[in-house]
Structure 1
Amino acid sequence: MLSLRRICQILIIIAILTIVILGFHSPLETTFYTFSNSKLPDAFNGYKIVLLTDFHLKEFGDHESVLVQKVADCKPDLILLGGDFIDEKHTSLSPLNDLLKGIHTLAPIYFVSGNHEFDKSTGEPILQYAEMQALFSQYGVQDIDDQTITLIKDSDSIQLTGRKWRSTNPARGLSPADDNTFHLLLFHGGNFFDQLSPYGYDLILSGHTHGGIVRLPFLGGVFSNTGSLFPKYDAGLFHQGSSSIIISRGLGDARIPRFNNPPEIVCITLYQK
């Protein structure tokens, strides 16, 4: 017959294993934000944006059915792809094809590159880049690296600037936002908010941080992309001056698996202030 001490030891082991299993197998979540700004024109009041980042060709259900349904449930007016949709370790782009096939009729889709779209040593696009661009062409996804476009709804408009991935000096050559127009910036590197905020973009949408990879209660993300601990910008909504940023925890995994850090899609509703 087991002693009370032995029973307690077994229960503790079971509890620890349960925590570990649940921590590494968190289901996909949707995180909802509302963002208000006085410059937002009438037609964009209630405008919904879905932000997807750091896909890394991860599979969410049969033919990405889980991810596609969650995007559809947000009823987006705009879908933004914030980089790291491919990487060198995955040669098949079938997950990306399935995702785009499922969402391309929901709303206009725009993309900017992340660090994993490029070879770390040479800075050149990885082999899968051309195939990714072919899928974008097939499904009507517009690559807006280093471009500014006008989003029009009824007789009103806002601006969207896309920023190509830069690992250093991400703001070099970046034009300041228009003070008189609501202006979005889509850039992969959320950890660069301090360098980007002085340029006056009303809302910056980013990823890259993977939510700090490992998340601890009350402390947030543990690891930064630079190797330091407890990064200032891990995930969520931050403000600095006249600029704000929403950093997604992202969808997939890069080199280190997530722990207590569910993959997420971000759904933002814009309102007039």
Structure 2
Amino acid sequence: MRKRTRWLLSLGVLALGSWFLYRENNIIDVSQVTVASSRLPEAFNGYRVVQVADLHGKAFGNEQQRLLKKINQAEPDLIVMTGDLIDSRRNGEEAALTLMKALVDRYPVYFVTGNHEVRLNLTILPKLEQLGVTVLRNESRVIEYQGQSFSLLGIDDPTTTRWREGLSEPDGIRQSLDQALQDVSPDAFQLLLAHRPEYKSLYAERSVDLVL
């Protein structure tokens, strides 16, 4: 009886683990967050930003139709992709470019690098730019809407400066942030795109209004 119980328990754990892995790699979850700020111009009341991150070359249905359906249902005004669009082990460039091409046909799309783009020597960046994606590499853009604006900043993954300039990741992030903020008005609402959530305390040092 005890052996049977152990087998049933083992099979149950295996089944749950298999379902978890399947779900994490195949089910598309959508989280909605409302951000309020007195620094955000009134024109952006109800403005929708869809953030997509860490796809790692994954394809969701034929021609990315499952993922595109979810994004389109959100009716975004702006799309931001915060890194690891591809994967350094299995690449997935074709699926990534299929998605981005479909998005730029309908929306303004902005991208910052993740560590997997860096591992593949950033070779996908010219292809994204050719499609019409705006790649932010330690720089900013003014996003205009109904006569008002905010500043959108984007920084490289810190492996870029760690590998190429020998900086520690925190120092590399500080350098990247300083470059991105060079032309940004302190009076503007500042939305920062970055790949690494674990460095949120460093982003807070520069007093940006919102980090994705």
Query: TM-score, normalised to structure 2's length?
Result: 0.82
Contact kept? 1:83, 1:111, Cα under 8 Å: yes
Match of 1:152 in 2: 144
Within 2, Cα distance between the matches of 1:112 and 1:22?
31
Structure 1 residue 78 corresponds to structure 2 residue 102 = no
Shift of 1:137: 3.1
The one of 128, 133, 142 equivalent to 1:141 is 133
Letter in 2 for 1:194: S
Corresponding letter in the other structure for 1:62? N
1:19 matched residue in structure 2: 16
Contact 2:152/2:191 (8 A) holds in 1: yes
* 1:39-188 matches, cutoff 5 A: 39-119=39-119, 126=121, 129-130=122-123, 132-167=124-159, 168=169, 169=171, 170-172=173-175, 174-175=177-178, 178-188=185-195
CA distance in 1, matches of 2:17, 2:157: 34
CA distance in 1, matches of 2:48, 2:206: 24
What secondary structure is seen at the aligned counterpart in 1 of 2:177? coil
Q: Pairwise CA RMSD of aligned residues? A: 2.1
Please list the CA deviations of residues 235-256 of structure 1 after superposition, one character each: whole Å capped at 9, or x if unmatched. Answer: xxxxxxxxxxxxxxxxxxxxxx
Larger strand percent: 1
Contact 2:83–2:115 (CA under 8 A) maintained in structure 1: yes
Q: Percent identity?
A: 27
Structure 2 gaps, min length 5: 160-168
Code of the aligned partner of 1:172: Q
Question: Does the Cα contact within 8 Å between 2:191 and 2:209 map onto a contact in 1?
Answer: yes
Which structure is higher in RCO with an 8 Å CA cutoff and minimum separation 6? Answer: 1
Amino acid of the structure 2 residue aligned with 1:201:
V
Instruction: Give the helix-richer structure, 1 or 2.
Output: 2
Is this contact kept in 1: 2:58–2:92, CA < 8 A?
no
Change (3 A) 1:8 1:165: closer
CA contact (8 A) 1:159 1:182 kept: yes
Cα deviation for residue 178 of structure 1 reads 4.2
- Contact kept, 8 Å, 2:143 with 2:149, in 1: the verdict is yes
The size of the alignment, in residue pairs, is: 194
